[in-house]
Amino acid sequence: MTDAATDAPAVDWSDPALRRRLARRHRGDMRLKAVGVAALGAACLMLAILVASLVWSGRHAFTQTHVTLAFDVSAEAVPRDDPADGRYRTIVREALYAHFPAVEGRSDQRALADILSDGAKWMLRDRVVANPELIGRTVELAVPVSDPYDQLAKGLVDPEAAEENRRLSDREIGWFRQLEEQGLISTPVNWGLIANADSRFPELTGLRGALWGSFYALLVCFLISFPVGIATGIYLEEFAPKNRWTDLIEVNINNLAAVPSVVFGLLALAVFIGWFGLPRSAPLVGGMTLALMTLPTIIIATRAAVKAVPPSIRDAALGVGASHHQVVTGHVLPLAMPGILTGTIIGLAQALGETAPLLLIGMNAFITQPPEGVTDAATALPTQIYIWADSPERGFVARTSAAICVLLAFLVAMNAVAIFLRKRFERQW
């Protein structure tokens, strides 16, 4: 069988050349390892910087400066029969002027009035409407200050800077300090960020509308993509005949997963809005668009999970005389379910973060009411972020970062669930 083994010169492993070479090889190892560490470090560092800078710049949005004033809700200013229609604007101003008797003149007073947020009068009105007994009394209420003063309170306005390129004049700063000395300034947690809907005034804006919009959109997306996705995946993997048609479909689905999201936006714009005439900016359309993008993810996840079920199980079931659909429903699907769920959650997480297509279908409108249903115009978390990011006021920078933190919180939660599922159910065959 083998030829007379022509004997080889036995290797002398102690040959210094070999030894040197060996040392070199080990150094090579160390180098490779080092670059690896560096690369990984870089990646982690990036994430760190990203999170850090967002949290840092967002931190101010989690608190809001308030000034506590005593409002004299006199019966003549607010008619008892219809509290909603009172002259609250003057009430609020009077309350502020009371602290600055020295300030005279219309223009000065108007400037002084700018300390308070526009929302102050609405807040007072809501309070009074909520319980009319207050009419004829004085009401103690903490109302938000307007953005420039909020910035000032949070030390973002540098009083030493040249007056002309400050948003606040020395005089205005003086007023505010005065209020501070009187102990009327407080900076509680800014629940408005979650509770309020969008607004032109940073100190008043909130994510309520965006959250509901995203919720409705994801709901629609889930209701469409989950059943359809699983059904398609199972069909393709288990029942579809293997011919060029199914091959074609397969290729298409795999590609769909990698098609740029903006293209889906165009599609939705042309089809859903252009042809079907569905309402612009509606979570319904958004959800349908996102469904288009989530579908391939779920289909692929389903097929992968189904493929991962070892054929030996299939054989076993067939071997005892199970019919094909019994094999699928009784063995394949249950074993594949964790994988499918994981895929779905990840898909939804992506959908939650998708922006471009929603922009194209107009879910970036300025809407101050949270949507009542899937057909109302609404924004979504990511689009809201985009809008704020575009807004000029300084206050929106912090607000945007804060909104992003909220979004990330949701995403981390969802991914955590997915990872948990994967760990919990991963099985070695």
Helical packing angle, 208-234 and 333-353, nearest 10°: 150
Closest to another protein by CB, 176 or 386: 386
Closest to another protein by CB, 119 or 353: 353
* Backbone region of residue 136 per phi and psi (left: phi > 0; alpha: psi in -120 to 50; beta: other values): left
CA distance 92 to 75: 15
CA distance 385 to 396: 10
Closest to another protein by CB, 37 or 84: 37
Closest to another protein by CB, 103 or 414: 414
Question: Which amino acid, one-letter code, is at 212?
Answer: W
**Pairing verdict, β 138-144 and 185-186:** unpaired
Would you give the end-to-end CA distance of the chain in angstroms? 40
Task: Please state the closest distance from residue 109 (CB atom) to another protein, in A.
Answer: 37
Task: Please state the closest distance from residue 196 (CB atom) to another protein, in A.
Answer: 21
Task: Please state the closest distance from residue 108 (CB atom) to another protein, in A.
Answer: 37
Task: Please state the closest distance from residue 283 (CB atom) to another protein, in A.
Answer: 17
Closest to another protein by CB, 1 or 102: 1
Pair of tokens at residue 308: 């991962």
DSSP 99: T
Task: Please state the closest distance from residue 266 (CB atom) to another protein, in A.
Answer: 4
Task: Please state the closest distance from residue 3 (CB atom) to another protein, in A.
Answer: 5
Closest to another protein by CB, 185 or 193: 193
Closest to another protein by CB, 32 or 84: 32
Task: Please state the closest distance from residue 162 (CB atom) to another protein, in A.
Answer: 22
Residues paired with residue 142 on neighbouring β-strands, in sequence order: 68
Closest to another protein by CB, 130 or 320: 320
C-alpha closest to that of 390 among 198, 188, 154, 142: 198
CA distance 305 to 311: 12
SS3 content of the chain, % helix, strand, coil (to 5): 65, 5, 30
CA distance 177 to 323: 82
Residue 297 CB coordination number (10 Å): 22
Closest to another protein by CB, 144 or 265: 265
Task: Please state the closest distance from residue 400 (CB atom) to another protein, in A.
Answer: 6
Closest to another protein by CB, 134 or 349: 349
Task: Please state the closest distance from residue 265 (CB atom) to another protein, in A.
Answer: 8
CA distance 301 to 346: 10
CA distance 198 to 210: 8
CA distance 84 to 74: 14
DSSP 189: B
Task: Please state the closest distance from residue 248 (CB atom) to another protein, in A.
Answer: 11
Please name the residue that has the structure tokens 């800077």.
Answer: 161
DSSP 10: P
CA distance 59 to 401: 8
